[in-house]
Amino acid sequence: MKLLIDFFPIILFFAAFKAWGIYAATAVAIVATIVQIAYLRFKTGKVETMQWVSLGVIVVFGGATLLAHDENFIKWKPTVLYWLMGGALLVGLVLFKKNFIKSLMGAQMQLPDSVWNTLNWAWTGFFAVMGVLNLWVAFNFDTDTWVNFKMFGGIGLMLAFVVGQALYLGRYLKEPEQNTAAKDSSHE
């Protein structure tokens, strides 16, 4: 359910673009993101910082697209969001000596600090590359191709990155003690 909520604005943007074009899709994305934030606030009482940032970016760049009637603004939106996320990870690690990936995921798994740092750098690099890739597609192909890339290419690359990360992490994760003990006693 959380995944659907996270991708709700992107899915609606894609559908609206296919039905009515870039300007209607941009308006739909703005409204969908506002609804998403309102739903999360009502349902959980909490909205994550990056969700607020995402709302601000879509309102600013989507609003500029609609006001100037220039689709180039909305094409910059994913890049700005990627670079803000990557920049936050970089600044956190370099300036504040704080690993935000560890802060987000540390309660779910125990990893050596060197692995947490590798993950932080990997996500920083991923976001930097995704920002550049978005701009390359946005300004070297037609808008239809960019929207398809945003929907399928961006999500596909994110999924591939997460799967690669899971494979990398697999060698560092240990089974919980009780499961290991239960397996050992069943082999006797």
Please write the tens of the pLDDT for every residue from 62-76.
Answer: 999 999 999 999 999
Residue 153 predicted with pLDDT over 70: yes
DSSP labels, the chain: -HHHHHHHHHHHHHHHHHHH-HHHHHHHHHHHHHHHHHHHHHHHS---HHHHHHHHHHHHHHHHHHHHT-THHHHHHHHHHHHHHHHHHHHHHHTT---HHHHHHTTT----HHHHHHHHHHHHHHHHHHHHHHHHHHHHS-HHHHHHIIIIIHHHHHHHHHHHHHHHHHTT----HHHHHHHHHHT-
pTM value?
Answer: 0.88
Predicted local confidence at residue 5, as pLDDT: 83
